[in-house]
């Protein structure tokens, strides 16, 4: 039986921590036992871990290279995999001034690990073609969601004679571009569409202030599960400035809701037959996208999206199975993994 250790420094990472429930699936528990190793985000010395496969979920940085070097030195028999949850081409464009230095850091990190797990094909293409990491070190595995109950939601009702009910949700932070979405809604007639946003984060107060006095927009606080809001909406809007994958789009398709997504990073490859990908950088861009999107057959798009996403969980399990099996031949022998469980 293989032993897997997941290194994590932020237990409020939303989809990242939820994604670890994948390793409770029977198809994977037959192959391996899994547990989480909590790590301080400023740690320089890595722990010794009794694991055949170490999966690193922490953000890369120049400082973290010291940790990775220590992890390799102190666990020479373990296969080390890094899951890249954050960095993308659009992230680089929006946030990085010293691009050469940033890419050098990523290439050095690649030397210290055995494999990069990319969460979208777009991210893998950028790491290979833009950054210069060998394709042989890159594996694409979409993030997992445990919200299978969304498949049971009834399909949306046709929006005849009423406004289209749009939904957006996630962290209230600039990356999600919710301020531009609210600004765009000022020019959308109330008879055409309405918008509900829910979430939490540093921008919550400013977004609530923007929506005040705007009857077509409602800004709500956090919600443990999106199911109730998805059941009440006709479509989901994701106007992010950058997004490695975008689990919200997967959840929308599971709920048979069409998606309008920004044409950045991993978002467009999730659309398929489920909606529209468009430039959503500015309020004017978003307004044009909403005008085009609401003219589509949203009900049919939602049904098509649910059909396309049904096999995604099996593919995710299959790809992790292959990755685990790649580690099996060099697995060290030893006692049971005694670490903090993520259950």
> How far apart are the C-alpha atoms of 59 and 7, rounded to whole Å?
11
Please check whether residues 263 and 179 belong to one and the same domain. yes
Please check whether residues 159 and 304 belong to one and the same domain. yes
* Full domain range(s) for residue 230: 148-309
pLDDT band at 1 (very low <50, low <70, confident <90, very high): confident
pLDDT band at 14 (very low <50, low <70, confident <90, very high): low
pLDDT at 204: 97
CATH of the domain at 250: 3.40.50.2000
Q: Using one digit for the tens of pLDDT, what is the confidence trace for 245-297?
A: 999 999 999 999 999 999 999 999 999 999 999 999 999 999 999 999 999 99
pLDDT band at 332 (very low <50, low <70, confident <90, very high): very low
What the block records as the tokens of 264 is 């950045």
Q: Using one digit for the tens of pLDDT, what is the confidence trace for 239-256?
A: 999 999 999 999 999 999
Residue 65 lies in a domain: yes
pLDDT at 11 over 70: no
pLDDT at 146 over 60: yes
Closest by CA position to 322, among listed 168, 135, 56, 115: 115
Mean pLDDT of 148-163: 90
pLDDT at 322: 94
Please check whether residues 170 and 302 belong to one and the same domain. yes
Please check whether residues 8 and 48 belong to one and the same domain. yes
> How far apart are the C-alpha atoms of 276 and 260, rounded to whole Å?
5
Burial letters 80-111, b for 16+ CB under 10 A, else e: bbbbbbbbbbbbbeeeeeeeeebbebbeebbe
Please check whether residues 110 and 193 belong to one and the same domain. no
Please check whether residues 156 and 301 belong to one and the same domain. yes
Task: Name the maximum alpha-carbon separation found in the chain.
Answer: 66
pLDDT at 334: 39
pLDDT at 336: 33
Residue 40 lies in a domain: yes
Please check whether residues 251 and 321 belong to one and the same domain. no
pLDDT at 225: 86
The rounded mean pLDDT for the chain is 91
Please check whether residues 232 and 267 belong to one and the same domain. yes
Residue 337 lies in a domain: no
Residue 161 lies in a domain: yes
Least confident piece of the model among 14-28, 141-155, 172-186: 14-28
Provide the 10 A C-beta neighbour count for residue 39: 18
Q: Using one digit for the tens of pLDDT, what is the confidence trace for 16-35?
A: 677 888 999 999 999 999 99
Residue 335 lies in a domain: no
pLDDT at 119: 96
Please check whether residues 115 and 204 belong to one and the same domain. no
- Torsion sign (Cα): 174, 179, 181, 183: negative
> How far apart are the C-alpha atoms of 304 and 289, rounded to whole Å?
20
């Amino acid at each position: 039986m293989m032993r897997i250790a997941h290194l994590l420094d932020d237990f409020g990472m939303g989809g990242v921590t939820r994604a670890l429930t994948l390793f409770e699936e029977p198809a994977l528990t037959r192959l391996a036992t899994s547990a989480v190793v909590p790590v301080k985000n400023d740690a320089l010395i890595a722990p010794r871990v009794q694991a055949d496969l170490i999966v690193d979920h922490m953000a890369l940085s120049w400082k973290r290279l010291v940790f990775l070097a220590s992890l390799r030195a102190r666990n020479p028999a373990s296969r080390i995999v890094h899951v890249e949850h954050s960095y993308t081409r659009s992230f680089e464009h929006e946030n990085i001034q010293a691009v050469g230095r940033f890419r050098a850091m990523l290439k050095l990190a690649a030397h210290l690990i055995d494999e990069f797990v990319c969460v979208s094909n777009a991210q893998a293409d950028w790491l290979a073609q833009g950054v210069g990491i060998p394709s042989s070190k890159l594996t694409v595995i979409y993030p997992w969601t445990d919200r299978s109950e969304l498949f049971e939601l009834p399909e949306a009702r046709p929006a005849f004679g009423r406004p289209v009910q749009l939904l957006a949700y996630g962290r209230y932070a600039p990356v999600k571009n919710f301020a531009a979405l609210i600004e765009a809604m000022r020019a959308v007639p109330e008879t055409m569409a309405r918008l509900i946003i829910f979430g939490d984060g540093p921008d919550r107060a400013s977004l609530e202030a923007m929506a005040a006095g705007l009857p077509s927009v409602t800004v709500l606080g956090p919600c443990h599960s999106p199911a109730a809001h998805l059941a009440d909406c006709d479509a989901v809007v994701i106007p992010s400035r950058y997004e490695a994958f975008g689990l919200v789009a997967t959840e929308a398709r599971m709920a048979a809701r069409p998606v309008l997504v920004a044409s950045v990073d991993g978002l467009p490859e999730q659309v398929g037959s489920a909606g529209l990908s468009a430039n959503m950088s500015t309020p004017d861009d978003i307004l044009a996208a909403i005008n085009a999107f609401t003219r589509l057959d949203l009900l049919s798009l939602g049904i098509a999206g649910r059909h396309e996403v049904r096999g995604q969980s099996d593919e995710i399990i299959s790809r992790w199975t292959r990755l685990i099996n790649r580690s099996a031949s060099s697995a060290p022998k030893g006692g049971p993994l005694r670490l903090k469980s993520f259950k």
